[in-house]
Amino acid sequence: RSLRSTRDSTGKQVNATTCGLKSLTVSLFNAFLGPNTARINNCQGLCVFPLSDPIYHTLLLISYIENGNVKERAPCCVPIAYDALVVIKVKLEGTYICLQPNMLATKCGCR
Amino acid sequence: RSLRSTRDSTGKQVNATTCGLKSLTVSLFNAFLGPNTARINNCQGLCVFPLSDPIYHTLLLISYIENGNVKERAPCCVPIAYDALVVIKVKLEGTYICLQPNMLATKCGCR
Amino acid sequence: QSSPQKRQCAFKNTIANKQFEDAGDVNGSVQVCESTQCCVGYYRIINDQPRADILACDIVEKSCPNNACIAQPAQVLNNITSIKCACNTDLCNNNINWTS
Amino acid sequence: QSSPQKRQCAFKNTIANKQFEDAGDVNGSVQVCESTQCCVGYYRIINDQPRADILACDIVEKSCPNNACIAQPAQVLNNITSIKCACNTDLCNNNINWTS
């Protein structure tokens, strides 16, 4: 994940990072009885070469857009792997502990 | 994949579709000796409820952003499954046929 | 060398919650915590009274600043009102400080 | 009922390309196509001359509007210049129409 110089929508030169994992902690109050918060992380940054996790669909899409088809949806920096988290759930039968999959982003890629 | 009424960045009411697969055919001329083109498809549309493929990280991220944290990277409509495609590759040893993975987007989700 | 004294917590496990059983040795209604100083209690509010579903050594909350088990704000999940508490003294999770 | 006549294509398979072998019965340098009317040729340009790497029934291109095997624009892949052609008459892929 490296710094690179680019231009923002107003043409101003800015420093932006390439697609990578970024720390993010959120409240779980409306979702689970416990824990109160979790560091779920998020993916953010530019989808430019070299890609950290290149797959052919993304490479073809970038090439298609660079050839002038700027209205096509460009590749987006998103989680491509997750960890589970132990949480407390409430159901009519009772309160129970459970390993909830896809809670914490652990790896990012351009898709 | 349903039509829904929303507002664009200028506040104008527009019809937009929820996240789904969209046909896209691109040239493979710079990547493989054959075929000439492939329908690789792309994912496009809004990440709003109900999500077609909800996973907890996305649900928590949407909820976090709806609570006012509008600068966080919002979920993005991206391919979450791909098909392989038979292509012709060229290497020093010779020309050969090969099943190239992750060529054609087949399913979309919000990530 | 003496090892630091292990936390003891009230133990109750209404439906099979294997992970809580693994949090420390259980003897009747007491659990000796293997690797935490926090006790926890998870309750459902039934007929305006808290009913303990889980009492055990903590493996989820990871934080317990209070000596007594003070109820955190009630949560409504799946249309069920629940409360929980975490505390840091022996058997402190036997009672939850809660007012409806 | 007579089944439509099957396309015959020149066959050459320099390195093991099992999928092309499965495209039809092979007898020496001729292949009888199982499910296509197209023959193909894939060539690398070596010393300014095309050298056939693969001649076979088509399983990749899916389109062959020409009777003769006319070279499509040259492609440079991995620093190697290659050409290909596809055609729709018996053994039409024996020769590629190409000018450097």
Rounded average pLDDT over A71-95:
96
Q: What are phi and psi of D95, to 5 degrees?
A: -130, 140
Other beta carbons within 10 Å of D55: 26
Domain residues for the domain of A91 are: 3-110
Distance from CA of C61 to the nearest CA of A (A): 5
Distances (CA, A) of D23 to A22, A36, B67, D16, D30: 50, 60, 58, 14, 12
D32 touches chain B (CB under 8 A): no
In whole angstroms, what is the distance from residue D26 CA to residue D42 CA? 18
pLDDT score, position A109 = 97
Contact between D59 and B32 using a beta-carbon 8 Å cutoff? no
Q: pLDDT below 70 — which residues of chain B?
A: 1-15
Q: How many domains does chain A have?
A: 1
Q: Are A20 and A1 in contact (CB under 8 A)?
A: yes
Query: A93: nearest CA in chain C?
Result: C15
Domain of residue A59, CATH code: 2.10.90.10
Q: Is residue B21 domain-resident?
A: yes
In whole angstroms, what is the distance from residue B91 CA to residue B97 CA? 11
DSSP state of C49: E
Looking at every residue in chain A, the average pLDDT score rounds to 89
pLDDT score, position B76 = 97
Other beta carbons within 10 Å of B110: 28
Q: Which residue in B60, A94, A36 sits closest to C80, CA to CA?
A: A94
D65 touches chain B (CB under 8 A): no
pLDDT score, position C16 = 72
Task: Print pLDDT tens along chain D (100 aa).
Answer: 556 789 999 999 977 788 999 999 999 999 999 999 999 999 999 999 999 999 999 999 999 999 999 999 999 999 999 999 999 999 999 999 998 8
Contact between B29 and D75 using a beta-carbon 8 Å cutoff? yes
List of chain C residues whose C-beta atoms are within 8 Å of the C-beta of residue A38: none
In whole angstroms, what is the distance from residue A69 CA to residue D96 CA? 34
Residues A22-70: pLDDT tens digits?
Answer: 999 999 999 999 999 999 999 999 999 889 889 999 999 999 999 999 9
For A58-101, the DSSP string reads HHHHHHHHHTT-TTSPPP-EEEEEEEEEEEEEEETTEEEEEEEE
pLDDT score, position C15 = 79
pLDDT score, position C80 = 96
Query: C76: nearest CA in chain A?
Result: A30
Query: A46: nearest CA in chain B?
Result: B73
pLDDT score, position B15 = 53
List of chain A residues whose C-beta atoms are within 8 Å of the C-beta of residue C44: 90, 94-95
Q: Which residue in B55, B27, B54, B52 sits closest to B39, CA to CA?
A: B27
Give the whole-number percent of chain A exceeding pLDDT 90.
78
Fold category of D8-94 in CATH: CD59 (2.10.60)
**Domain residues of chain D, as ranges?**
8-94
Contact between B76 and A79 using a beta-carbon 8 Å cutoff? no
Q: Give mean pLDDT in consecutive 10-residue pieces for chain C, a chain of 100 residues.
A: 81 87 95 97 95 96 97 96 98 94
Interface size between A and B, measured as CB pairs under 8 A: 91
List of chain B residues whose C-beta atoms are within 8 Å of the C-beta of residue A57: 40, 79, 82, 102-105
In whole angstroms, what is the distance from residue A59 CA to residue A63 CA? 6
Residue with tokens 């190409």: D98
Contact between D59 and B95 using a beta-carbon 8 Å cutoff? no
CA trace torsion B88, B90, B94, B100 (10° rounding) = -50
